Structure 1
Amino acid sequence: MDIQPLLDHFNQLSAEEQTKEVYAHFGLAVYFGQALEQQLANMLIFDQLFQVKPATPAEYTAIFEEHAAAGKPADILAVAAQLAYQLSDEDRDELRRLLVSRRFLADSYFKVHAQRLLQPELKSQIVADFVGFQNRCRQLHGQLQQYQQQYVQRTSVDPELLQQTWATVVRDAQRTLSAMA
């Protein structure tokens, strides 16, 4: 996505509208990062389910919970995805960078760059950072979908089994999120 028209529009807004726009783009950037992280968790869950073939609900739940928490370092997650889905080194490295960036955005971006928000001429740089991150997440999302398709073809996973597994993962994700609320 070309961000120049977005920045041109942004620069025409009042200072108050610009601040609102910065936070809107921040929310989108964090969302895209979380969506990428969830996509990766789902990929790793699928791989383990098809490799381990859990025999009991407890074994299944253990696999799900291992990846649902997203507490593992980005390097470990990226290497696990590379091994399971045969990611290129470039895609593995981009995945790692995006996971690290997502955590930075959510935890520290405004602590480190607070002065940018207070200086009108630097607010557009914040928007550019967030939109650039969103674009990188979108691009990698598409790449990961291709790896998933190749994985399904390579492993000859039955499409019906894949659908059943996906439905189970979604159900358990909803259950886990409800329990945390």
Structure 2
Amino acid sequence: MDKHSEQCKEVYAYFGLTIYSAQCLEQAMIHLIVFLDHFPKAVPGFSTTEKWEKDFDKFFDGESQRTLGQLLGRLQKLGIPCEELKIKLKEALKKRNWLAHSYFSERAMEFMSEDGRNQMIAELEESAEYFKSVDEEVSSIFYKIAETYGLTEDVFKNIMDDMLVESKSDL
């Protein structure tokens, strides 16, 4: 494969990584909503594990159907912990929508040259890092809230370990 084809594949790979990073942020937002909305209502009425799992899955599935913009709206109604995070989430929404809806059409000319593709790769790396940093902020908030319900870092680690075993992961 020639140098240009390899670089084109690299642009697509970075685009995939960037969209993946945006989806990770989206999941972190859903988790935060779970701890800000579902847990405070569900914990006091806990009766059985079966009912808990059913109600949790229903809530989580409902939130998972929402767009990133809708999730941001939900967080705003629930009270995003700080104004700075709210601004970052709005910027993340703007970046994600741009990537999903118009990135390649806006970068068509840049994609035609090696220098342009290098610029695209740098731009995509920067966007992926932005999503990751906002994801870390959101995650740190929901982990703090989760601890108040007894869901410590060790509990989450054990859950993740069990999931990796169940998936027969080779990572």
TM-score, length-scaled by structure 1: 0.68
> Which residue of structure 1 lines up, in the alignment, with residue 63 of structure 2?
67
The match for 1:147 among 133, 141, 147 is: 141
Percent of residue pairs bearing the same amino acid type: 22
> Which residue of structure 1 lines up, in the alignment, with residue 167 of structure 2?
none
The match for 2:149 among 154, 157, 162 is: 157
The match for 2:87 among 84, 88, 93 is: 93
> How many matched pairs?
151
> Which residue of structure 1 lines up, in the alignment, with residue 132 of structure 2?
138
Q: Summarize deviations over 1:33-88 as a string: whole Å, max 9, x none.
A: 111111111221232221221765664444222211133x52x5335335646432
Gapped regions of structure 2 (runs ≥ 5): 164-171
Cα distance, 1:149–1:83 mapped onto 2, change above 3 Å: farther
RCO comparison, higher one (Cα < 8 Å, 6+): 2
Instruction: Give, in whole Å, the separation in 2 of the partners of 1:159 and 1:28.
Output: 29
Cα distance, 1:149–1:82 mapped onto 2, change above 3 Å: farther
Determine if the alignment matches structure 1 residue 48 to structure 2 residue 40: no
Query: Considering only aligned residues, what root-mean-square deviation do their CA atoms show, in Å?
Result: 3.1
Give the letter aligned to residue 24 of structure 2: A
Gapped regions of structure 1 (runs ≥ 5): 1-12, 172-181
Task: Confirm or deny: 8 A CA contact 1:32 1:138 kept in the other structure.
Answer: yes
Task: Confirm or deny: 8 A CA contact 1:41 1:68 kept in the other structure.
Answer: yes
Moved >4 Å (runs of 4+): 54-59, 82-86
Instruction: Give, in whole Å, the separation in 1 of the partners of 2:76 and 2:143.
Output: 14
